[in-house]
Structure 1
Amino acid sequence: MSKIVVFGAGGRAGRHAVAEATARGHQVTAVVRDPQQHPDLAGTGIAVVAGDVTQPDSVAEVAARHDAAVNAAARLDVPAETFFPVAARALLDGLARAGVGRLVAIGIGTVLETAPGVAVHDDPGFPAEGRAFSLGHAAGLAALQGADTDIDWVVLAPPPVVLDNEAARTGRYRTGGTRILPVDDSATFSYADLAVALIDEIETPKHHRALIAVAPCA
């Protein structure tokens, strides 16, 4: 059993990560900006605390005495190009001070490549508003890649489709590299199975300091 701190625990991906981790017997600290807004998160093996993923001191405080971290945090009220790199640097700083060596973060499928050096968001027809958000994720990834850190991080990027919040957990998924994985038009990927991939990377790390595509099994 490990102690896992989950940043952004109030969102869909974060909630599923909390549920998956606790179902496996881990102790979880669920970090949200305002715990009073998420009374339903509390439960056996779960501590709900206030924290700010963009502040290294806050990260260090809530992550102390934990074994690993999951980052599912996102802000829609802050420009993506500001939020994601600031959060990435704060996580690396704060987790290092807290002695947490493993970080598993959720990326976005639009930063994956369709060809070497060409991301999904580089398509000429890609929506401008979506591209700005994707570029923010890319900036966060660049902050991780460029950091001089001992933190063993990995970013898991689900396919660029709307994830299913209600679909049942199958426990099955596949991973690749930085290239987008082919997905059938009728295929769906659930938050529950994304959470399986996240916690698997904590229990049995297979990928290190890389962007990794994750998708439903073909």
Structure 2
Amino acid sequence: MRIVVFGAGGRAGRRIVTEAGARGHEVTGVSHRPGDWTVGDVTDPESVASLVAGQDAVVMAASRYEPDFFPRAAKALVGGMAEAGVTRLVAVGIGTTLETPEGVPLYETPGFPEDARAFTLGHVEELGVLRESGLDWVVLAPPPVFLNEDPATGRHRVGGRRAPADETFGYADLAAAVVDEAERPAHHRELVAVTAV
């Protein structure tokens, strides 16, 4: 496959590029900073369109601590991918958008940290943009913990929206789940949890 990865310079993005390459895919890593990657702007529809043209799948792993980054990026991806005729988008989400056993999003629970709220709400707005689009998208949300740097375990599960109670999880297993969804789409137009088995 031909896969483009936005956010290739980040912790998740680097591992997604490595994982996809190890499986024999042709990978274009994109970063907004000059360096080892193709330079591009995931918040600019024209930049997105030029970078995704001819690709089989698009991965969104970019992240910035700007309140409106995620909805701006989602709008640019929707517009740019439509212009290029590419439909499959696999995005890395955030665990605080997952739900309690009672079905309440974590960011709406009592005592949720205010300093994490704006960042989480950016992801929520991103989901709203994607839901209104015609893309075949999935957002994979890892557990709401600090992800570890351990090697991949090869054991992860994708599905549902419930946040795991107490779990460790790593970037390498997240990368494997993302590439799995790019290769063999199993979830469509939904937010789903990716957790350890």
**TM-score with structure 1 setting the length:** 0.87
Match of 2:109 among 123, 136, 140: 123
The number of residue pairs the alignment matches comes to 197
Does 2:162 align with 1:179? yes
Q: 2 CA distance for matches of 1:175 and 1:169?
A: 15
Q: How big is the shift at 1:109?
A: 0.6
Secondary structure at 1:200's aligned position in 2? helix
- State the match for 1:92 in structure 2: 78
Q: How big is the shift at 1:115?
A: 4.7
> Which segments of 5 or more consecutive residues in structure 2 lack a partner in the other structure?
none
Residue 191 of structure 1 aligns with an amino acid whose one-letter code is Y
- State the match for 1:208 in structure 2: 188
Residue 100 of structure 2 aligns with an amino acid whose one-letter code is T
**TM-score with structure 2 setting the length:** 0.95
Residue 198 of structure 1 aligns with an amino acid whose one-letter code is V
**What are the superposed Cα offsets for residues 109-146 of structure 1, whole Å, 9 maximum, x if unpaired?**
10111155521111221110101111111111111112
Does 2:51 align with 1:62? yes
* Percent identity over paired residues: 58
> Which segments of 5 or more consecutive residues in structure 1 lack a partner in the other structure?
40-47
Residue 89 of structure 2 aligns with an amino acid whose one-letter code is L
Q: 2 CA distance for matches of 1:85 and 1:62?
A: 19
Secondary structure at 1:35's aligned position in 2? coil
Secondary structure at 2:50's aligned position in 1? helix
4+ aligned runs moved over 4 Å, structure 1: none
Secondary structure at 1:114's aligned position in 2? coil
Residue 69 of structure 1 aligns with an amino acid whose one-letter code is V
Report the RMSD for the aligned CA atoms in angstroms: 1.3
**Aligned counterparts, 1:128-143, within 5 A:** 128-143=114-129
Q: 2 CA distance for matches of 1:153 and 1:33?
A: 22
- State the match for 2:11 in structure 1: 12
Q: 2 CA distance for matches of 1:7 and 1:59?
A: 9
Q: 2 CA distance for matches of 1:114 and 1:132?
A: 19
- State the match for 2:147 in structure 1: 163
